[in-house]
């Protein structure tokens, strides 16, 4: 059985150890730390994603307000051809460099990690392509491109670069839409035969009843087949009327 340690024995042993350390027989704490450094590294400084925003009027200005509160993101560059929009955004982000040409931004801002594009629709593809070729991650507002050809080119470029890309259909990044995609891919709802789109925007007369548009899901069709695919127009009650949806004034009430 182990012998109990008395208080006198403990004090005597401690004094002897202290004497040996003072005499150099035992390493001091500092020497021991140098010989065996801590295995847990000190916490590194938080790295922030350096972001440039091209197009800062309207939707782009909204993006500025949304990015600013993100702790691990920093807006380092702002670009717009409209001086009024540029001045307004620069007041919100005074440390950001300002440009009127996105090409100058890509060339001059060396620490840039990612670019958010919110310019007029027809300029999305050229700017996105330039950013991907420059090694920048891209978040681009919808529509991504102006044509099918541009869409395929941007898709190929994104795959080749290995960079992160996303199109700005913000609601589709939420959990409920992700779950719907999972269910569809898993076959939980069966074969998709028809897609219904409900538009409740205010781009129709307030007196007009909401219309439900639907179209047969043709899969991957050629342009000629897509033009021949059947399109129908539905009322909320489910009654269908054939033909293309007309302007609001021509819709039945």
Return the domain boundaries, the chain: 49-172, 187-243
Name the band, by pLDDT with cuts 50, 70 and 90, for residue 107: very high
Least reliable range by pLDDT among 35-49, 129-143, 213-227: 213-227
- 13's enclosing H/E stretch is helix 7-22
- Whether residue 130 is predicted with pLDDT greater than 60 in this model: the reply is yes
Pairing of strands 97-99, 73-79: parallel
pLDDT in tens, 161-218: 999 999 988 777 788 888 988 999 999 989 888 888 776 666 666 566 555 545 444 4
Say if residue 22's pLDDT is above 60: no
Task: Please state the rounded mean pLDDT for residues 138-142.
Answer: 95
Q: How high is the mean pLDDT of the chain?
A: 77
User: Which pLDDT score is estimated for 149?
Assistant: 94
Name the DSSP letter for residue 95: T
- Domain range 49-172, CATH class: alpha beta
- For residues 33 and 93, the model is more confident at 93
Is 244's pLDDT higher than 50?
no
**pLDDT for the residue numbered 1:** 53
Does the reported pTM lie above 0.75? no
Q: What is the dihedral of CA 234, 239, 243, 244, to 10 degrees?
A: -10
Sign of CA dihedral 121, 166, 147, 78: positive
């Amino acid at each position: 059985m182990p012998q109990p340690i008395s208080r006198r024995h403990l004090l005597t042993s401690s004094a002897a150890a202290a004497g040996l350390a003072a005499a150099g027989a035992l390493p001091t704490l500092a020497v021991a730390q140098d010989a065996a450094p801590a295995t847990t590294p000190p916490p590194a400084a938080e790295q922030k994603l350096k972001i440039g925003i091209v197009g800062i009027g309207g939707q782009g200005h909204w993006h500025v307000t949304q990015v600013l509160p993100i702790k691990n993101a920093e807006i380092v560059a702002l670009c717009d051809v409209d001086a009024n929009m540029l001045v307004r955004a620069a007041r919100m982000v005074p440390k950001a460099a300002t440009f009127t040409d996105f090409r100058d931004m890509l060339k001059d801002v060396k620490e840039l990690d990612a670019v958010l594009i919110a310019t007029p629709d027809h300029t999305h593809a050229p700017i996105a392509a330039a950013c991907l070729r420059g090694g920048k991650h891209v978040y681009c507002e919808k529509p991504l491109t102006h044509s099918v050809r541009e869409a395929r080119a941007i898709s190929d470029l994104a795959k080749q670069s290995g960079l992160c890309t996303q199109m700005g259909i913000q609601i589709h990044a939420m959990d409920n839409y992700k779950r719907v995609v999972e269910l569809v891919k898993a076959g939980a709802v069966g074969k998709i035969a028809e897609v219904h789109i409900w538009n409740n925007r205010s781009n129709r007369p307030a007196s007009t009843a909401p219309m439900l548009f639907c179209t047969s899901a043709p899969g991957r069709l050629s342009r000629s087949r897509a033009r021949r695919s059947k399109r129908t127009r539905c009322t909320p009650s489910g009654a269908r009327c054939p033909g293309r949806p007309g302007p609001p004034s021509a819709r039945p009430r």
